[in-house]
Chain A
C-alpha cells in the first residue's frame, strides 16, 4: 500500500428531497483512501452506503463537499467528464452482476474496453487474460444464462478490471450468492487486492465479507465509524467477528 491517495472526500453531504421532507443520508463525511487499500462499508439499510458508493463512482453527485479522485475534484465536473472518469478510473461490481444477457462472457468483458475506445485484437486478448485470471478459462463463449451466479460475478469482476481502473467499487457483490460462491468471490477480491494491489471498496451487509477487508467502516447517522482490521482473518468467515470489532 502506497501513500498515494486514490480517493479523498471532504465534508460530503448528500441531501434528497422526498416530497416536502429532506433526507440526508450522508452528513459532513470525510474519507481518505490510499492506493492498494481494501475497504468495506457496512451499515443498516438506508444508511447511505450505496449513495456513498454512487457518489464515489461518479454516477451520483454530492450536495455539498468535495470528492477527489486522484487529483481531480469531481464535484463540479460536467456529465461528459464524469462519464470519461467512470470509464477510465472506476470499475463497478454490482449485486445482480448486470451482465448483458445477449453477449457472451468475453464480449461482456470486451464491452468495457470498447466503450473506452480500445481496438478489437487488443480488447480480445485482454478479455481472455482477465477471464483466465478470474478462473473462467474455457467459459469465454458462454452467455450469462449458461454460467452459475458465482461465475457471472467473476465475469463482472473481470469486466470491472478491464480498463485497469484506479478503484473497484463493489455494491453487495456477494448479496445474491450462496455460501460457496460467496467465499470464492471474496477470495478473488482479496487476491486481487493482495497480489495486484487493486484498490477496492466493498459495500456489504455481510459481516463475514467485511471481516476479510483491512479497513472496516460503519455508516451511522450519515457519518463513518472506522476500525482498522489488522487481524483480518482471511478465509475464516466468522459472522460475529465484525460486530465484535465495532462493539469494542
Chain B
C-alpha cells in the first residue's frame, strides 16, 4: 500500500466525479492524439496536389517552348456514344480518318519543315476500353516532345529505339488485364511482352486507358501500315509558322491544323489557372494548419482546466483528510506527490481510452474537426479541335478512374510514436494541471484543516 494505491483508491472512491472528469479528459486527449497525424496527412495530401500542379506546370512550360515552332495536324474526330463490353458502361466511341503516306510525303516536301513526327492513336471502341498508341520510337526527333513517350514509368522500363513486340501498359489496364512486367498480353489477337507499367495517365478528354507500343507495331495491329492519325511538324523558325500552316490548309482544307505558336496566350492563361489552383492549395493547407493548431490549443487548455478544477474540488473536499495526513507527519512532498499523482492517473486512464478511440476513428474524427484538403488537380491536353486545355479531375492517393467516387476522408494512422506522444502529453498535462491544487493541499495547516467543516 503505497502512494500509488492511495491515489488510485481515492479516484475509485469518487466514482461519478472521476468518470465525468475522465470523459472530458478523454475527449480533449483524443483531439490531441488525432490532430498531429491528421494535419500531417493533410499536409502530405496537399503537398502531392501541389507537386502534381508543379509537374503539370513544367510540362506546360516545355510545351510552350517547343510549340512555338510546332504545328500539329490531323483529321477531326467524330464521336459517338456506345456501350463498352469491358467497363459495362457507355463510353465515347471515336472515329478519326488517318493521314496516309501520300499526304505525309506532300507535308514533308513543304519548305521550312525540318521534322515530321507521326503518331498513331487508335481510339477506344465499343469492344475495347483502351487506346492503342503508337510512337515512332526509332526516330530521335520524338524527344522534342517529352510527353510523346510515357513519362511516369512506375515498373519496368520505357520504350526505346528498336523495341518491337513490347508494350507499356498504364496501371489501370495492367490491373485489368492481370499483367505485370515480363508477362505476355494479347492485344487484338497479337501477343506482346509487357516491358513497363506507367503511372497515372492524364485523363483529359479520354475515357479509358492506353497501351503504348512502337509505331510499326501499332500500324500492323490496326491494319494501317504507313499511316498515322496525327503529325507533329516542326519548322525552322517562328517566322515560318504562318506560311507552313497556309500550305498545309492548301494541301487538304479538311485538315485540322493547329500551331503551338497560336497557343501561347492559351498556355499563359492555363499557367495562370495552375498558379491560382496552387494558391488555393497553399491557403487551404494554411487554413488546415491554423484550425488544427487552434483546436490543439483548445484541447490542451480544456485538459489542464478539467484537471485543475477536479483536483481543486478534491482538495477542498478532502481538507480534513489532508489535515489528518499532515498531523500524522506526512511531509509536504508526500501530500504534493499524492495529489499530482491523482491528476496524472486520471489523465493516463483518459489517454488509454483516447488512444483506443483514435485507433478506430481517427479518419472520421479528423474529417469532422479539420477542413478537407484540396481535392482537384489538373492535367494538360488537347480537346478534339486541337486546342490546349486543362482537364480538372479529382485528386487523391490513387488516380480517380471514371465511375470511381472521390472521398473526403484522408486516412491518418496512429503509430506507436503517436501513442507515446499522447502518453507523454497526458503525463505532462496531468502534472501541470494538478500542480496548483497539490500545492494548495501541501500548504494546508493541519490545525485549520481539523476545524474545517466542524
Interface residues of B in 311-358 (CB under 8 A from A): 320-321, 323-332, 334
- Known interface pairs A59-B327, A87-B329, A115-B328. Does A98 touch B320 (Cβ–Cβ under 8 Å)? yes
Tier of interface size on chain B: 20 to 34
C-alpha gap A191/B423 in the complex (Å)? 54
The reply to whether A114 and B1 contact each other, CB–CB distance below 8 Å, is yes
Do B327 and A92 have beta carbons less than 8 Å apart? yes
| Closest residue of B by beta carbon distance from A59 | B446
Residues from chain B with a CB closer than 8 A to the CB of A59 are 326-327, 445-447, 450
Q: Is the CB of A98 within 8 A of B324?
A: yes
Q: Does A133 belong to the interface (CB within 8 Å)?
A: no
Contact check, B327 vs A57: say whether CB atoms are below 8 A apart. Answer: yes
Q: Find the residue from B321, B328, B446 having the highest chain A CB count within 10 A.
A: B328
A101 touching B13, Cβ below 8 Å: yes
Q: Which of A36-54 contact B (CB under 8 A)?
A: 54
Against B, the Cβ 8 Å flags (1 = close, 0 = not) of A93-108 are 0101010111100010
B17 sits at the interface (CB 8 A): no
The chain B residue with its CB closest to the CB of A112 is: B328
B184 at the interface (CB under 8 A from A): no
Inter-chain CA distance A112–B327, complex, in Å, is: 10
A83 within 8 A of B: yes
**Residues in B whose Cβ lies below 8 Å from that of A60:** 447
- Cα A88 to Cα B334 in complex, Å, equals 16
From A159, which residue of chain B is reached at the shortest CB distance? B328
Interface residues in A49-103 by Cβ distance below 8 A to B read 54, 57, 59-60, 79-80, 83-88, 90, 92, 94, 96, 98, 100-103
- B contact residues around A115 at 8 Å (CB): 325, 328-331, 334
Chain B residues lying within 8 Å of A87, measured Cβ to Cβ, are 328-330
Complex CA distance for A35 and B450, rounded to whole angstroms: 27
Cross-interface CB contact of B10 among A94, A102, A112, A114, cutoff 8 Å = A102
A188 within 8 A of B: no
Shortest beta-carbon distance from B147 to chain A in Å: 75
A119 CA to B323 CA in the complex, in Å?
24
Question: What is B's interface to A at a CB cutoff of 8 Å?
Answer: 1-2, 5-6, 9-10, 12-13, 320-321, 323-332, 334, 445-447, 450
In the A-B complex, the 5 residue pairs with the smallest Cβ-Cβ separation, listed nearest first, are A87-B329, A102-B9, A59-B446, A98-B324, A60-B447
Q: A96-B320, A102-B12 are in contact. List 13 more A-B contacts (CB 8 A).
A: A59-B446, A60-B447, A80-B332, A83-B331, A85-B329, A90-B329, A92-B324, A98-B320, A101-B13, A102-B9, A102-B10, A107-B5, A111-B328
